[in-house]
Structure 1
Amino acid sequence: MIRSYTSDRTVPIEVTEYGAFPGTFIGPGGQRHPVTVEWFDIDDPDETSDSPLCASWGLPAKGAEQTYESLIGALESGGSLNRRGRALAGYAAGYLAADATDLLRIEAAAEPGGPVLDDELHLLVRSWRRTWRVSLGSAPIASDGPIEAEYRIACVTALLRQFLTVNNTDAVTFEVSFGTHDVDLDVSDPYDAFRTGWSGDGHWLIAEEGDDGDDDVLWPLDAASLETVLAESERNIVQAARATGTLWEFDDTTPEIPGDELVSWLARDLYETIATGVAGPSGPLLAFAKKFPLDEVLCGEGDSCLLLVGPERTALVYVS
């Protein structure tokens, strides 16, 4: 247990035999031995918004503020963070501190009686249900190749589900599936060639000449139109995420894109990962869409679909 602690000084800790406080734990570089602890009361019963997104905008709730400052300080000790990095760190702080009551900042050594490791950060965030520990320290950059696109997409879409909620029980979902095709696109009208040569798995059909506003077919998008609908979709995603935080409930200003909202960076990361997986850095050759830009689907009405086509691969993004 901790014998005594205050919010303005660090004191030695004492561990009981029943392990009320961890005697040792695994840190970024191996086993770590607690030396001192600093306690902060982060309980904020009057706070009306505990959305982690507020912290990602640089506006953490009172309970998350100390966690936010600790994470940002540690991450910026070796250099400044870009806006994307600050947004991600802010969200992590808001998520960790949500419903929490106590924050413990631990100084640790690599061996019993050894010097404190000043280049590491160890936080314990406690609530009545659980305790989270987060440790930060220098680590070598992995050199075993890029992260698989499918894994990265799964992580991004899982986070987007947290931010884009339709009501108390439902969230907007993004399903991404890759495929292949054998259509020769090196022709005068590649859009028509792909429409007639792609099966669409028997479900997704591409609009033909004469179709009039049929919501059940995919419509071709040229490069300029694709850029426009992606930009508008991103603005709509940010506005939908903002609506979940009471701090922005009455704020109708147009967000800066990309700004401090984590959802903005996630939307870009999702598209770039998919487009690269389809056609490499050059991006898709063709695009087809249904109900794009994203609008109604963010309110729980209907669904949307985007089909990206490369020289040999396709990617279907289904939003519902």
Structure 2
Amino acid sequence: MADNVTNHYISSFFLVGVPGLQEFHSWIGIPVCLLLGLTLLGNSIIITTVKLEPSLHQPMYFFLCMLAVNDMGVATSPALKMLGIFWFDAHWIDFDACLVQMYFIHTLCIIESGLLVAMAFDRYVAICIPLQYTVILTTSVVIKMGLVCVARGVLMVLPCPLLIKRLPYCLKYIIDHAYCEHMAVVKLASANTHINRAYGISVALSVTILDLVLIATSYVKILQAVFRLSSQKARSKALGTCAAHVCAILVLYTPALFTFLTHRIGKNVPPSFHIIFASVYLLLPPTFNPLVYGVKTKQIRARIVRLFFPNKKITCES
């Protein structure tokens, strides 16, 4: 411990990994590595596919590329350190490196949520006011919406590491987690942390509630427009364009809600369960998104098939 204290302040933290399951760390690392590999491969294929196919140069697919880039960051930020812990016993992490990891994880999660809102707006315009789609969602507007999502995440999370830096860390240095999560780091401080806790929960609730309300509003409008269509085929086609986005929303918010509820009301839930579910929340959506968009979006599916099987004939059926 002497090497990790400077002037009686902690200079490094010890990440436990998954408490109670240390003997299984080497096995837990296998699915983590697999999910990371699938995330990087799947999202790279999505980006390459959209870049190579001129017919996919549309707002919906530009947002999908933004989501793919962000997903790779969301998965990589915790996974590399987790693999270091699980396979190489690299438990120690520098104080500042811990804050950087924490900052990127929470910033990228907020950006992810914002991009799903932008994609919901894209579907709203495409289905409810299709004649104005190209007028409203120009390339410059799409870029600005992406930048707003990034700026919101960057600015909202920035106070978290700054507030942590003002706290003294004198005695506790063991983080019962597999990565540097905000509240796990705050709890170790040797001082009053009410401001940190209040700000952290305020950001989490405000982002989640605002984004879910905006997404729900978009889909209420979409459903109203869809059910006004006279043709069953037209209704199915319109809803089909939203299927992948709805799946992405469910995959992101369901584990987030479950994790939040178990922390608040699941007092008897083992810590290992909390850590595993928190890790699933970060690693599963980035892996799942390219798979569901590849399967549910026929333009992407057709282009991927042509990319890997150039001689295969593609039908136009969805």
> Please, what TM-score do these two structures have when normalized by structure 2?
0.24
Query: Higher relative CO (CA 8 A, sep ≥ 6), structure 1 or 2?
Result: 2
Higher CA-based Rg = 1
TM-score, normalization by structure 1: 0.24
Report the structure, 1 or 2, having the larger strand content: 1
> As a proportion of its length, which structure holds more helix?
2
